[in-house]
Amino acid sequence: MDDTSGIGSLRILHVALLASVLLFALIGEQLGPTEPRDVTVIRLVLTLVALLEVGVAMFFRKRMVQQAEEMLAREASNAEALKKWRAGKMVSYALAESLGVLGLALRMMGGTLTEAAPFYAGAIVLLLLWAPRGEFARQA
């Protein structure tokens, strides 16, 4: 079976990134400080960074993924559009996963699991919402 669209590779990447977010949570709990510290300012800064990352990810999805999907809907064999679609998917996955990294960073700086959990959850939710669904697997 030919995977010219790269959907199989995207699925593998997607599962690996989802698993990595769960690993971040486990690592944070195993290696993070046992005594919580006041990380209010750090948490606020990381929250702003996370919101910025979500905005950038949505921009990339709009700019790269949706444009490529429109081009592929018109011409399914457009290799350049397929390349742009794959790149946009990968960039958005990486930005979504980075929320989990922020959660791990917060946990390692003394934040509690309760404080880090929204970052982990945000990463998982975005990755699940943006999962590859075989959009162009048969067209390419």
Q: Over the stretch 47-87, which tens digit does the pLDDT of each residue have?
A: 999 999 999 999 989 888 999 989 988 998 889 998 999 99
Please state, in angstroms and rounded to a whole number, the distance separating the CA atoms of residues 89 and 10.
8
Q: Which two tokens stand for residue 136?
A: 């162009």
Q: Comparing C-alpha atoms, which of 91, 92, 83, 93 is closest to residue 140?
A: 83
Q: Is there a domain that residue 138 lies in?
A: no
Enclosing domain of residue 76: 7-129
Q: Is there a domain that residue 136 lies in?
A: no
Instruction: Please work out, in degrees rounded to the nearest 5, the angle formed at the alpha carbon of residue 70 by the alpha carbons of 90 and 60.
Output: 35
pTM: 0.87
Q: Is there a domain that residue 83 lies in?
A: yes
CB 136 within 8 A of CB 5: yes
Question: Tens-digit pLDDT profile for the chain (140 aa)?
Answer: 445 567 888 999 999 999 999 999 999 999 999 898 999 999 999 999 999 999 999 998 988 899 998 998 899 888 999 899 999 999 999 999 999 999 999 999 999 999 999 999 999 999 999 998 766 544 44
Q: Is there a domain that residue 134 lies in?
A: no
Contacts of residue 51, Cβ cutoff 8 Å, sequence gap at least 6: none
Q: Comparing C-alpha atoms, which of 124, 102, 99 is closest to residue 111?
A: 102
Q: Is there a domain that residue 20 lies in?
A: yes
Q: Is there a domain that residue 135 lies in?
A: no
Q: Is there a domain that residue 2 lies in?
A: no
Q: Is there a domain that residue 48 lies in?
A: yes
Tally of domains within the chain: 1
